[in-house]
């Protein structure tokens, strides 16, 4: 699921490094636009998707278009998979997976728990991840085999052995029945754990990578919400369920990603053993 740097050529490494540097600059530029929209959110046109909890605004659409255009100018052969503009095939095996505003409902109601999430894939594996929170100017990045960073400083998952030592991130949607989440919550709370849901999967997964949360669980999620978070947590020393199995890229899957010390316990709670 994560690209192995030992399996790529020096030339490919150079190309990935170029895209990594571009991604860090590009996501912050897109973040400036997103924050401007946030500060003018009363002017935005809002649409509702199939899921009544899932809303989209012109900000989502335009921020994703900015990300694609900034990247297309430099890497014209790359492909894209985005929440708002779908899939665009490229002429090579690089793919940018984009959530222009993860946490749109929070964004539109004036809460600051939203972010931009971008993953870079190479040959079907995650090569890099970027999550930017313009509200706090926090940029979480990870490059396969090179660790994870927050604003350029190395981060690691929380060094714990019990779910009682921290807070778990939780996500859900109306795509699935409540019965798929409630057993996990019952087991977590019965074991003395606690949880939080802030409306943004990518942001909560970034917090797992930075040691602020002990893990993140959602019974079904789309790839653009979590691929960047997966490589962030993995490169920060944590564990992730095999999200990309059975075409998770296009169809979505459950996601459980945690600090290593509680991974086995949480896998049992999530029935992902």
If one compares 152 and 51, the residue with the highest pLDDT of the two is 152
CATH of residue 121: 3.30.540.10
Domain encompassing residue 61: 5-155
- Of 102, 128, 155, the domain-final residue: 155
Question: What pLDDT was estimated at residue 47?
Answer: 64
- 138 with 51, same domain: the answer is yes
Q: Which residue, 221, 220, 173, 213, is CA-closest to 194?
A: 213
Q: What is the pLDDT of residues 120-169, one digit of tens each?
A: 999 999 999 999 999 999 999 999 999 999 999 999 999 999 999 999 99
- 123 with 171, same domain: the answer is no
> How many domains is the chain built from?
2
- Of 123, 155, 187, the domain-final residue: 155
- 148 with 18, same domain: the answer is yes
- 115 with 147, same domain: the answer is yes
- 10 with 125, same domain: the answer is yes
Q: Which residue stretches of the chain are H helix? A: 10-39, 58-72, 104-108, 182-190, 201-209, 223-235, 248-251, 263-270
- 182 with 133, same domain: the answer is no
- 196 with 140, same domain: the answer is no
CATH of residue 191: 3.40.190.80
- 11 with 146, same domain: the answer is yes
| 68 pLDDT higher than 90 | yes
* Residues present in the chain in total: 273
- Of 134, 155, 176, the domain-final residue: 155
- 14 with 140, same domain: the answer is yes
The residues near 192 (Cβ < 8 Å, ≥ 6 apart) are: 162, 163, 164
| 53 pLDDT higher than 80 | no
- 111 with 171, same domain: the answer is no
The residues near 270 (Cβ < 8 Å, ≥ 6 apart) are: 184, 217, 241, 254, 256
- 115 with 150, same domain: the answer is yes
Q: Are 118 and 224 a contacting pair, CB within 8 Å? A: no
Q: What is the pLDDT of residues 163-189, one digit of tens each?
A: 999 999 999 988 899 999 999 999 999
- 39 with 142, same domain: the answer is yes
């Amino acid at each position: 699921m994560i690209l192995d740097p030992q399996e790529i050529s020096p030339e490919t490494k150079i190309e990935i490094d170029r895209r990594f540097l571009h991604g860090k600059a590009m996501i912050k530029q897109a973040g400036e636009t997103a924050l401007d929209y946030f500060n003018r959110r009363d002017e935005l046109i809002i649409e509702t998707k199939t899921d009544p909890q899932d809303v989209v605004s012109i900000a989502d659409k335009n921020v994703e278009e900015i990300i694609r255009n900034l990247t297309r100018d430099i890497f014209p052969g790359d492909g894209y998979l985005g929440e708002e503009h779908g899939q665009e095939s490229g002429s090579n095996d690089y793919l940018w997976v984009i959530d222009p505003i993860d946490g749109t409902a929070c964004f539109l109601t004036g809460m600051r728990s939203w972010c931009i999430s971008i993953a870079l894939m190479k040959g079907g594996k995650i090569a890099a991840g970027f999550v930017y929170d313009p509200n706090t100017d926090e940029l979480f990045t990870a490059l396969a085999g090179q660790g994870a960073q927050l604003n350029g400083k190395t981060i690691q998952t929380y060094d714990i052995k019990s779910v009682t030592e921290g807070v778990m991130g939780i996500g859900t949607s109306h795509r699935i029945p409540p019965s798929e989440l409630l057993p996990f919550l019952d087991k977590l709370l019965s074991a003395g754990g606690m949880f939080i849901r802030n409306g943004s999967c990518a942001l909560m997964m970034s917090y797992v990578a930075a040691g602020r949360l002990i893990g993140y669980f959602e019974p079904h999620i789309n790839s653009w919400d979590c691929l960047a978070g997966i490589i962030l947590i993995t490169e920060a020393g944590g564990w992730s369920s095999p999200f990309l199995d059975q075409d998770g890229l296009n169809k979505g899957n459950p996601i459980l990603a945690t600090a290593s010390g509680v991974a086995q316990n949480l896998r049992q709670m999530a029935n992902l053993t």
